[in-house]
């Protein structure tokens, strides 16, 4: 059974293009599910710059009273020290924080939080990606 979330590919792209494409898919998916999504990583003239380590997005679902900070990374890329500090402070404060490096990872997080019924990776028999830095997980 499909969740209706498209797992898009960013193969063949490198660096910032991967993150930009993935971020676009994440934002579109979350908005499709009824989230208000605020992109914090835009660096345009006239926009306020966020501190080093600030996540790429914050998403809020008012109907389910749920919010999450989202850091988007290239596959396999680790958080910087400043990003780890932000993540740890957010989790300590009782907030959700997801690090996403693929659409399958986002879908697994959404399934754990109850926004989709089952992640496609689980449906296909593969274990979902492990993201130990989400509130409520070990």
Decide: helix, strand or coil at residue 35.
coil
User: Looking at the predicted structure, is the pLDDT value of residue 4 above 80?
Assistant: no
| C-alpha separations of 34 from 31, 60, 67 in Å | 5, 9, 12
Mean per-residue pLDDT, 29-49 = 81
Q: What is the pLDDT of residues 86-127, one digit of tens each?
A: 999 999 999 999 999 999 999 999 999 999 886 555 544 555
Quote the mean pLDDT of the chain.
81
Domain residue ranges in the chain: 16-123
Give pLDDT, residue 8.
Answer: 44
Mean per-residue pLDDT, 55-81 = 95
The fold adopted by the segment(s) 16-123 is Trna Endonuclease; Chain: A, domain 1 (3.40.1350)
- Measured CA to CA, the distance from residue 127 to residue 54 in angstroms comes to 30
């Amino acid at each position: 059974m499909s969740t209706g979330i498209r797992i898009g590919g960013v193969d063949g792209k490198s660096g910032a293009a991967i993150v930009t494409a993935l971020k676009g898919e994440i934002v579109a998916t979350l908005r499709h599910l009824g989230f208000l999504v605020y992109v914090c990583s835009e660096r345009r003239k006239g926009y306020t710059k966020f501190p080093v380590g600030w996540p790429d997005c914050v998403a809020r679902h008012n109907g389910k009273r749920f919010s999450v900070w989202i850091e988007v990374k290239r596959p396999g890329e680790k958080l910087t020290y400043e990003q780890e500090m932000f993540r740890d402070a957010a989790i300590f404060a009782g907030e959700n924080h997801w690090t996403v490096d693929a659409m399958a990872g986002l879908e697994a997080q959404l399934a754990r939080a109850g926004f989709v019924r089952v992640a496609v990776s689980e449906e296909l028999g593969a274990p979902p990606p492990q993201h130990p830095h989400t509130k409520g997980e070990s």
